[in-house]
């Protein structure tokens, strides 16, 4: 059984919108709290009215935006700098000059959005490049029009750990790792260049269950880590209406699937008994963040 290195509880929840808890340097950060990544000791915990989405952290400043849903669409608005060590809001920057100040005022009008707002696009050293082409100092939020930088040509979704989920396939040593199905039909297989299956892993063959979403499996360092439950994630509220479901408590364990051999090692998770939800938040080196029920966080040492 995997015992956690440390645990953290947040009754108000660990995330907002589509966010997740992640490692940022020597911090572990969620919406909204910051922990010491080594010990799990909290630096701060608080609530923010506007910022909801983390874009990154640099120079001890968390760069965030507000995810907002107006009508049939969802988008991000504004740029916020939050002190990673104290949780204090350092600065706000929506746009340049008069229009930036006006848009900041209009933030308080419910449901009002427009195309003039600005959001972070990427980081380069101590600078933020925005979607409208501005360059901001991450420490102050000030515009730096004289600074010339080259934007990195990388897409986070191209990294192996994300590519397996978004593309449902990943090339390795001339073969292809593929993900198929969802929930009870979820399977992972390795196929050679001639289309022959080398191995196939299906949770149902072990009488286990996988949700199949992004947080239920992750590729890292030659293995695929999978959250497996001894019961389905959801069950019908009433057998007569099977599409109306409710969360179903389960005991969760971590499957460590070796992509070379196809062998899967199962390790029960000590803090994941009779939980309605369990998900992988992040993996860094030999450490993994696992959340349960949206309020409990634990870090585990990965032992293959």
5, part of any domain: no
Q: In which domain, by residue range, is 89 found?
A: 48-153
The pLDDT assigned to 157 comes to 56
**Which of 110, 136, 153 is where one domain is finished?**
153
Instruction: Choose the weakest-confidence range: 4-8, 93-97, 210-214, 240-244.
Output: 93-97
141, part of any domain: yes
Nearest-angstrom CA–CA distance, 265 and 226: 10
Do both 273 and 163 map to the same domain? Answer: yes
Do both 173 and 110 map to the same domain? Answer: no
Do both 86 and 170 map to the same domain? Answer: no
Do both 86 and 176 map to the same domain? Answer: no
Domains of the chain: total:
2
295, part of any domain: yes
Confidence of residue 97 (pLDDT cuts 50, 70, 90): low
Residues listed for the chain = 304
The pLDDT assigned to 136 comes to 93
For the record, the structure tokens of 5 come out as 């290195």
The pLDDT assigned to 282 comes to 94
**Assessment of whether the complete model's pTM goes beyond 0.75:** yes
Average pLDDT score, the chain:
87
68, part of any domain: yes
Do both 129 and 259 map to the same domain? Answer: no
**Which of 153, 187, 222 is where one domain is finished?**
153
29, part of any domain: no
CB atoms near residue 156 (< 10 Å) = 9
**Which of 100, 127, 153 is where one domain is finished?**
153
What digits encode the pLDDT tens for the residues 201-249?
A: 999 999 999 988 889 999 998 999 999 999 988 888 888 888 888 889 9
Considering just the CA atoms, what is the radius of gyration of the chain in Å? 21
The pLDDT assigned to 229 comes to 95
Q: Which residue has the higher pLDDT, 46 or 240?
A: 46
204, part of any domain: yes
């Amino acid at each position: 059984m995997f015992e956690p290195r440390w645990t953290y509880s947040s009754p108000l929840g660990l995330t907002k919108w589509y966010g997740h808890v992640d490692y940022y340097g020597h911090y572990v950060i969620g919406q909204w709290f910051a922990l010491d990544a080594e010990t799990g000791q909290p630096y701060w915990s608080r609530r923010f009215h506007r910022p909801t989405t983390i874009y990154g952290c640099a120079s001890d400043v968390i760069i965030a935006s507000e995810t907002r849903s107006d009508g049939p669409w969802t988008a991000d608005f504004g740029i916020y700098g939050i002190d990673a060590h104290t949780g204090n809001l350092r600065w706000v920057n929506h746009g340049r000059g008069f229009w930036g100040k006006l848009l900041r005022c209009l933030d308080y009008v419910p449901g009002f959005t427009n195309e003039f707002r600005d959001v972070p696009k990427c980081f380069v050293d101590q600078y933020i490049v925005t979607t409208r082409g501005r360059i901001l100092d991450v420490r102050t939020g000030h515009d730096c029009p004289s600074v010339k930088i080259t934007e990195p040509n990388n897409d986070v979704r191209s990294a192996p750990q994300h590519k397996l989920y978004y593309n449902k396939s990943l090339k390795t040593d001339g073969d292809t790792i593929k993900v198929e199905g969802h929930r009870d039909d979820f399977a992972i297989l390795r196929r050679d260049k001639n289309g022959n299956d080398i191995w196939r892993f299906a949770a149902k063959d072990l009488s286990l269950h996988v949700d199949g979403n992004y947080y239920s499996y992750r590729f890292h360092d030659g293995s695929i880590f999978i959250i497996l439950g001894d019961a389905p994630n959801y069950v019908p509220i009433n057998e007569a209406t099977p599409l109306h479901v409710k969360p179903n408590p389960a005991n969760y364990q971590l499957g460590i699937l070796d992509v070379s051999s196809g062998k899967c090692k199962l390790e029960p998770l000590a803090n994941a008994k009779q939980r309605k939800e369990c998900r992988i938040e992040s993996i860094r080196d030999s450490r993994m963040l696992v959340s349960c029920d949206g309020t409990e966080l634990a870090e585990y040492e990965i032992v293959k």
